[in-house]
Amino acid sequence: MVSARDGVCLLTGRQPPHRLDAAHIVPQSRPDVYRQLLGVRASEDMEVMYNASAGLLLSPGPHSSFDDLEWSLYQRGDSFIVHYFLPASDDEKRLNGMKLPPDRFRFMEAPDERLVAWHYNQAVKARIRGFAVDMRATAHRDTA
């Protein structure tokens, strides 16, 4: 579903035959978040977690850095904005602030704004109070 909606990596524009991953906005390991934000019952967890609105199509590098909370999306109007918290590479600096308008998602079911807001909130909190247990801390990258 995500590959049909996005077609290419959301950030880089890379397309098959390059490897692309369907990335969960909220980790699969957190069905409680899906229940809380979307009001679903435990029996509906799996169905909701695999909706296109719960994911993004990403190349492996952006997928890993998204999972590590190095970047996220936030909503401004009807668009999403890419926010790299510590853009280190030229590519990250170029992508930081990129606007993803609704037509980027081919007018299909866009990422769920509640899940996107949760991910962004986690990324901000990681920078304010440090990374939670069981998450890889990547906030202190060497930029020299």
Is the link from the previous residue into 27 a cis peptide, with omega within 30 of 0?
no
In the predicted model, is pLDDT for residue 96 greater than 70?
A: yes
| Residue 143 lies inside a defined structural domain of this protein | no
Beta strands in 95-136 (DSSP E): 99-100
**Assessment of whether the complete model's pTM goes beyond 0.75:** yes
Over pLDDT 90: what percentage of the chain?
Answer: 66
| Residue 120 lies inside a defined structural domain of this protein | yes
| Residue 136 lies inside a defined structural domain of this protein | no
- Which tokens sit at 79? 């668009």
| Residue 42 lies inside a defined structural domain of this protein | yes
CA atoms of 81 and 113, how far apart (whole Å): 12
| Residue 141 lies inside a defined structural domain of this protein | no
| Residue 47 lies inside a defined structural domain of this protein | yes
32-45 pLDDT, tens digit each: 999 999 988 877 76
| Residue 90 lies inside a defined structural domain of this protein | yes
In the predicted model, is pLDDT for residue 132 greater than 70?
A: no
46-78 pLDDT, tens digit each: 788 899 999 999 999 999 999 999 999 999 999
Q: What is the number of domains present in the chain?
A: 1
Cβ contact 84:66 at 8 Å: no
Determine the structural domain holding residue 111 and report its residue range: 2-129
| Residue 118 lies inside a defined structural domain of this protein | yes
